[in-house]
């Protein structure tokens, strides 16, 4: 197969930042995706409906080609009364939970999962999806084990206590997460990124640290990588596309911070096409990219279509943003698929 025509996909996990960088990353996403679930962890987090709706307008000012699906940042101060405003808003599609300190701009995140139970209960009643960065923030836990420990310590209990709460286990990176979601009820789903399919920890650490392959959850050993790949191509509707494309300028990546995040938005869909093609699973790509996520969020499927063609495409080595560089995922490498301009 040398050409795929498919319903225009949605990116169910996307960071677009704000300021100068936003215009570039939004334009890249809009070429491939009709809608995107927008993450709320800006340096000034999106903590209420008023701020989310203002952020929505900023994104729409940058492009009319992408429909942003907004989320709120779950803080210790989240008011139950705010959930009523969330439910009434036409723009907000979920609330994102970060344990405090687990990733970029997560300092305002949750200190105690158990203290969130009254909010979870109300979210369950109002059918507001809970989006979870599923890692513990305990510094004594090995960074490669933090997803599994979160499942064992928290997620199992949340799902048992709130069986009707819609949960998206974001950017899963382990066989443990794949198995958990597979065996959970139909209210539990997961997003899968290109980096957690294409990379394992050797790609991050062997031959020197590669900061542009650094993300959180950190990429794991190859057995976990294979499990995530198999989930993506399985045809199981619980697993759907979410790039977790998270841009940081080169100066932020190649620094003492080495900020966590991979910018895949430039060629995200092409990555997935190449992955599915190499696994003889192109017939599963449209459901994974265009249908399963929309169905889980209760959204209509998009009416527009895109076409991918099997033709070599060289990813640029860098993208210039106001005299600074943004390094895309697999910079300088050649992909076997590209988005048709027709």
Contact 198, 222 (CB under 8 A): no
Are the C-beta atoms of 48 and 25 separated by less than 8 Å? Answer: no
Coil, strand, or helix at residue 38?
strand
* Whole-number Å distance between alpha carbons of 165 and 162: 5
Backbone angles phi, psi at 180, to 5 degrees: -60, -50
Structure tokens at 239: 């697993």
Angle value at C-alpha 177, between 171 and 181, nearest 5 degrees = 95
The residue to which tokens 């998270």 are assigned: 246
Q: Kindly compute the dihedral angle of the four CA atoms of residues 284, 289, 292, 297, in this order, to the nearest 10 degrees.
A: 180
Question: Of 203, 244, 277, 312, which one is the catalytic site residue?
Answer: 244
**What span, in angstroms and rounded, lies between the C-alpha atoms of 230 and 236?**
10
Q: Which residues contact 15 (CB under 8 A, 6 or more apart)?
A: 25, 38, 39, 41, 244, 245, 246, 247, 261
244 is catalytic: yes
| Residues forming a β-bridge with 239 | 190
Point out the residues that are catalytic.
Answer: 244
């Amino acid at each position: 197969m040398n050409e795929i025509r498919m319903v225009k996909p949605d990116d169910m996990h996307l960071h677009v930042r704000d300021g100068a960088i936003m215009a570039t990353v939004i334009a890249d996403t809009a070429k491939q995706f009709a809608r995107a679930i927008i993450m709320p962890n800006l340096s000034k987090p999106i903590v209420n409906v008023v701020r989310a709706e203002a952020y929505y307008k900023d994104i729409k000012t940058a492009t009319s080609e992408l429909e942003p699906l907004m989320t709120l940042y779950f803080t210790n101060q989240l008011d139950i009364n705010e959930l009523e405003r969330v439910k009434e808003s036409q723009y907000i599609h979920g609330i994102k939970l970060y344990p405090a300190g687990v990733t970029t701009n997560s300092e305002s995140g949750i200190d105690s999962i158990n203290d969130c139970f009254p909010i979870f209960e109300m979210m369950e009643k109002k059918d507001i999806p809970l989006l979870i960065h599923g890692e513990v923030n305990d510094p004594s836990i090995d960074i490669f084990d933090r997803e599994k420990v979160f499942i064992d310590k928290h997620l199992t209990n949340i799902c048992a206590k709130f069986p009707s709460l819609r949960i998206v286990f974001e950017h899963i990176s382990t066989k443990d997460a794949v198995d958990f979601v597979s065996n959970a009820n139909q209210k539990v789903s997961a997003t899968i990124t290109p980096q957690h399919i294409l990379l394992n920890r050797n790609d991050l650490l062997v031959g020197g640290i590669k900061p542009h392959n650094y993300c959180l959850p950190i990429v794991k050993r190859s057995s976990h990588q294979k499990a995530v790949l198999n989930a993506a191509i399985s045809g199981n509707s619980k697993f759907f596309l979410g790039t977790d494309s998270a841009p940081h300028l080169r100066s932020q990546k190649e620094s003492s911070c080495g900020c966590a995040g991979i910018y895949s938005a430039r060629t995200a869909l092409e990555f997935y096409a190449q992955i599915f093609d190499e696994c003889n699973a192109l017939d599963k790509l449209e459901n994974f990219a265009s249908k399963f996520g929309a169905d889980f969020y209760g959204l209509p499927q998009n009416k527009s279509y895109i076409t991918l063609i099997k033709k070599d495409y060289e990813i640029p080595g860098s993208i210039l943003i106001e005299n600074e560089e943004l390094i895309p995922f697999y910079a300088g490498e050649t992909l076997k698929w590209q988005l048709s301009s027709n």
